Structure 1
């Protein structure tokens, strides 16, 4: 086993025995084998597109299966066995269609003819034998760029899957995923060629995030500023964590009138700002911060817990019987809600548990400052900048994690001068989301833009401000201070780089899969840099 795809990888080099995330050797091998099988399917899909043959079932499956390999999504070996077999079945069926239409179905790459073993153990052994990462390329710098892109594609596939669930798809996204997976069946590309493929990943991801934004806002309305209680309300309770708005909506519908209050956790906080979600009277508040840095809070939750899409950290054994998953999330020990989305088992478990025995008041936070809201007061923001009431904007966001060093982000926000504003998004904000920073001219100094995919909103805000000031985004009084953990963060970074955005500060540590030479390319072309030892150093450098 070797895995270095997340920020918390062992010793900053790679996990070799068991993942810091809890991933075991067999799952690592199965994920590598699934990726390999998807490359074989992609080779055929690319040839199909050349002669006008596409298959939406293949496209959707590819996105889901690539997404399943993202950090901490699924640790269920039987499901990986099913995906691997399905990838091969779809590959062979697509070959027949392409061949019948006169297309090429002869490939040098073994990926296109791979035959899976029959048992989970044998499949895991097949995956381990691939030595997948080292097999990407013999040159470490080319291998590094391929890793950046493969991990970016996993993040892209996640956003594409989220969007497709809400009816938003674009064939160019699926085409890019297939083209890239197919391209990486061979070795020896030029450095510049691989840089271009990586930046294209970011460009395509912007489209995927736009589709997801369209799906979210088209279905649930544009977020509006909303005060969300952090305490609890007496009564039965279900907590929803993860990212999936549709699962939350279905749960809200199915729990109406049952005496159960619904709470959000982690990246679900922004859901309270969507008009079509917050209309439910039993959609109460937000409980806890981020799963990975505050797991100790979770056993205190006296109700059922629902994990949607990808989440960080497996539930603690002490309350695993109260946990359910949906979508791609899976652990062998946890009950999974099938695609019929019947949440009866979750509801019954919540009703059987004590729930909260009394009301508690832990204050509240504001959310709902996506692009529509912020651009709605853009004239006030622009006037404040011109009047020097606002000196600088900081986008402080990204992933959270358990590894020491992330206190930097809390301290950074605490030390931001009073004439500066902080925009934030994703689960990294739970280090400081409840800080009371006051306002500037009636506009809160701390603006919660939303989930990680709402980086699209942040980009649109930056582009609109640049247009208003008749300058480039890089000329705005705006600095990006980002934290990363997994592959969604990788693809968002690639998106920012594809837009030419420079001078990004990244932490808590740089990716283990970036070689010194590749890092030098990023520094020379995009002025990307690690966060400093202390927030004070970075603030001094930025503000002077």
Structure 2
């Protein structure tokens, strides 16, 4: 097979190996190769200037890494601009990707760079809300600077753990930014149906952009709907006050081609999770992007003096029909750490009397593979005395199932977006403290995680840093892992890939 590119950074890597002609995600080989070059340009910039570089340049590295996340930016012109900016800062022009000749070392480096991408995405969200940590910038810069020249496996493994430590740090920062700005998430019912007014659909993860759109559209006669990872916006008190934030439309990101056809109004992408539209899609002229995500043909909304003008989207929406209804009913969410810990006495009582036997963390990403139906089957097959803790878009595989409750506690507790996996870690650590356990792995909590892209990688590294073991990762382990590196993860953390529902229930002692 002809090799025009080499990309194995996401779960959809072709044949669980690598995309070599075009990406399954939708990027072509020309874009993939420019993304590789940008990655190398950032390493040169970090090496040349170090942590003493200007804050503007630190933020440039952060935003560039965010652009490199799978499904975030499909615009080759955007990549060329980032490459040119980096080259202008260093005077060095890179022509191609750099790989370590040792496949095991390259595997560990791929894990680290993936973690840095995810970390940069979360940091960018926090900065939108005025929360920034130079230590996170400096770790990213120091790591990028040494990555190509580091050839010691022990040092790289230590760097993986340190990356996980900064993953915990950045998710805590974003949690503080979100909750301070918008209030602690509350248990909330979210409408799944539609209203009879025109609507705007907001996808991605950026709550700051959503708030700005809500404020600018509040008297327009246009309703605002969330999509996929924006669902948890409905849990925040400050965002809930907007009456025209009326519901969540659709499911996880990968179904957007079918669902966007039926929405009828404009769609705003605030971050990653773009599926390139078909050339004959009816909604092409209704697509907008902002921030670090982009796609050729989307209408851009740029910040001017820190302010984004969403009036073109609002005016377009006024000319559109109301959304076509996909479903009806409501779902419940808002079980972030503050809300769950407020119910701690009730939960602990249910654990002690045996009503709750086990918590299963089913967090992470959803995706297109048919094998992901496993997660629906797994959720349905869990014993009735089991609670699912979830975050990220993986929840769409089971958050609309009728799984009931345990003494009034819903059996699916949704903490929020993928970054809200931090909430699940806080809950676990609090339970460890309450039950006076020496090891977090002694808790009645098991981990069955779905992954897709780099933000899931930093969440996984954060869990490993916190000492969590016996994690199932699916649908497959990252394709860049060599047998030796996979064996290391198995031996040290007992990480394994998903099997069948029956076998994995037995593995977790849940059959």
What's the TM-score once normalised by structure 1's chain length? 0.90
| Superposition pairs of residues 200-239 of structure 1, within 5 angstroms | 200-239=162-201
CA deviation digits over 1:20-62, x for unaligned, max 9? 011111111111111111111101232xx4xxx3411011111
The match for 2:29 is: 25
CA deviation digits over 1:454-479, x for unaligned, max 9? 01111000000111011121100000
| Superposition pairs of residues 110-149 of structure 1, within 5 angstroms | 113-115=91-93, 126=95, 130=96, 132=97, 135-149=98-112
CA deviation digits over 1:296-317, x for unaligned, max 9? 2221111111111112412344
CA–CA separation in structure 1 for the residues paired with 2:386 and 2:492: 28
Runs of 4+ in 1 over 6 A off after TM superposition: none
| Superposition pairs of residues 488-527 of structure 1, within 5 angstroms | 488-527=455-494
Larger Rg: 1
The match for 2:509 is: 543
Contact 1:136/1:146, CA 8 A, preserved across alignment: no
| Alignment partner of 1:286 is 2:243 | no
Q: CA deviation at 1:360?
A: 8.1
The match for 2:293 is: 329
CA–CA separation in structure 2 for the residues paired with 1:290 and 1:482: 16
CA–CA separation in structure 1 for the residues paired with 2:401 and 2:106: 42
CA deviation digits over 1:88-136, x for unaligned, max 9? 3334xxxxxxxxxxxxxxxxxxxxx5236xxxxxxxxx3xxx2x2xx33
Contact 1:394/1:420, CA 8 A, preserved across alignment: yes
Q: CA deviation at 1:195?
A: 0.6
The match for 1:261 is: 223
How many residues are matched? 500
Contact 1:293/1:401, CA 8 A, preserved across alignment: no
CA deviation digits over 1:340-374, x for unaligned, max 9? 311111111111111248x8861110011100000
Using a 3 Å threshold, how does the CA distance of structure 1 residues 225 and 330 change in structure 2: closer, same or farther?
same
Which of these residues, 481, 495, 509, is aligned with residue 448 of structure 2? 481
CA deviation digits over 1:141-181, x for unaligned, max 9? 01111111111111111111111111111111111111111
Contact 1:27/1:75, CA 8 A, preserved across alignment: yes
Q: CA deviation at 1:406?
A: 0.3
- Runs of 5+ consecutive residues of structure 2 not aligned to the other structure: none
The match for 2:401 is: 435
What's the TM-score once normalised by structure 2's chain length? 0.95
CA–CA separation in structure 2 for the residues paired with 1:161 and 1:375: 28
- Runs of 5+ consecutive residues of structure 1 not aligned to the other structure: 92-112, 117-125
| Superposition pairs of residues 69-468 of structure 1, within 5 angstroms | 69-91=68-90, 113-115=91-93, 126=95, 130=96, 132=97, 135-187=98-150, 189-293=151-255, 295-317=257-279, 318=281, 319-340=283-304, 341-356=308-323, 362-468=328-434
CA–CA separation in structure 2 for the residues paired with 1:13 and 1:362: 40
Q: CA deviation at 1:402?
A: 0.7
Q: CA deviation at 1:433?
A: 1.1
Contact 2:75/2:294, CA 8 A, preserved across alignment: yes
| Alignment partner of 1:36 is 2:3 | no
What secondary structure does 2:25 align onto? coil
Larger displacement relative to structure 2 (82-91 or 225-234): 82-91
CA–CA separation in structure 1 for the residues paired with 2:185 and 2:63: 27
Using a 3 Å threshold, how does the CA distance of structure 1 residues 407 and 294 change in structure 2: closer, same or farther?
farther
Which of these residues, 15, 18, 23, is aligned with residue 19 of structure 2? 15
